[in-house]
């Protein structure tokens, strides 16, 4: 009984990497949301609510944009840059909608872009974390490529004789193989 419960929480390397990537994005988005709400002067908001909105937005954004991360080479880097932009937009819209329901969804991407443009340390920290997220997603893509490239051994299935009707239903045998 306990072995089954223990086995439910055992993760392989790819699942651990994805869990780490989601954790990093959640922490990053929560911290950026709290920082932006505190420095933007948009009103008096509870920082816990802003952190919750940023965390939920980060999880949803990475889930929606996870296919952009994990590629290898120059093309993978370009896709990761697009993924960072998509993740930032989705996370800011979701976090803005949670923090300030109607106007937040409209103005959060603009406020985020302004905050990242005026505060280079925030931009650098976000890029470093998102670069790490990209590198954590690489094992998933590498493993998929590795297993796709392996040749599949040709397994010869036993050939059924033309007179073997044992796998057919009784009705099919009665209609197709009538006995005279």
Query: Splitting the chain (180 residues) into consecutive groups of 10 residues, what average pLDDT does each group show?
Result: 65 82 94 87 76 93 91 88 94 90 87 91 94 83 54 60 66 68
- Any domain includes 96: yes
Residue 124 pLDDT? 95
What pLDDT was estimated at residue 28?
94
Please indicate, yes or no, if residue 58 is contained in any of the structural domains.
yes
HSE value, Cβ hemisphere, 13 Å, CA-based, for 180: 0
Q: For residues 29 and 58, is the Cβ–Cβ distance under 8 A?
A: yes
Q: Which of 24, 7, 31, 52 is nearest to 121 (CA)?
A: 31
Alpha-carbon span 2 to 155, nearest angstrom: 38
In a domain, 50, yes or no: yes
pLDDT at 126: 93
- Is residue 177 situated within a structural domain? no
Find all residues with CB under 8 Å of 168, minimum gap 6, and list them: 176
Q: Which residues contact 94 (CB under 8 A, 6 or more apart)?
A: 53, 56, 57, 60, 61, 105
pLDDT at 73: 83
CA distance 26 to 36: 15
Q: Is the pTM of this model over 0.75?
A: no
Does some domain include residue 88? yes
Indicate whether 129 belongs to any domain.
Answer: yes
Domain coverage including residue 123: 12-148
Residue 23 lies in a domain: yes
Residues 6+ apart with CB under 8 A from 45: 37, 99, 100
* Residue 5 domain-assigned (yes or no): no
Total domains present in the chain: 1
Residues with Cβ < 8 Å from 139, sequence gap 6 or more?
A: 13, 14, 17, 70
């Amino acid at each position: 009984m306990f072995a089954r419960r223990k086995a439910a929480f055992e993760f392989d390397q790819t699942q651990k990497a994805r869990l780490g990537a989601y954790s990093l994005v959640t922490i990053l988005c929560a911290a950026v949301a709290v920082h932006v709400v505190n420095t933007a002067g948009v009103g008096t908001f509870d920082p816990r609510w802003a952190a919750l909105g940023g965390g939920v937005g980060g999880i949803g954004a990475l889930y929606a944009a996870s296919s952009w991360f994990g590629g290898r080479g120059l093309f993978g880097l370009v896709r990761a840059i697009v993924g960072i932009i998509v993740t930032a937009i989705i996370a800011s819209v979701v976090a803005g909608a949670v923090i300030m329901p109607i106007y937040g969804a409209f103005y959060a991407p603009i406020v985020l872009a302004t905050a990242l443009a005026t505060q280079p340390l925030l931009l650098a920290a976000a890029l470093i974390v998102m670069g790490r997220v990209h590198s954590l997603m690489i094992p998933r893509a590498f493993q998929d490529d590795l297993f796709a490239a392996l040749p599949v051994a040709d397994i010869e299935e036993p050939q059924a004789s033309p007179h073997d009707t044992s796998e057919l239903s009784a009705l099919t045998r009665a209609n197709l193989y009538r006995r005279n």
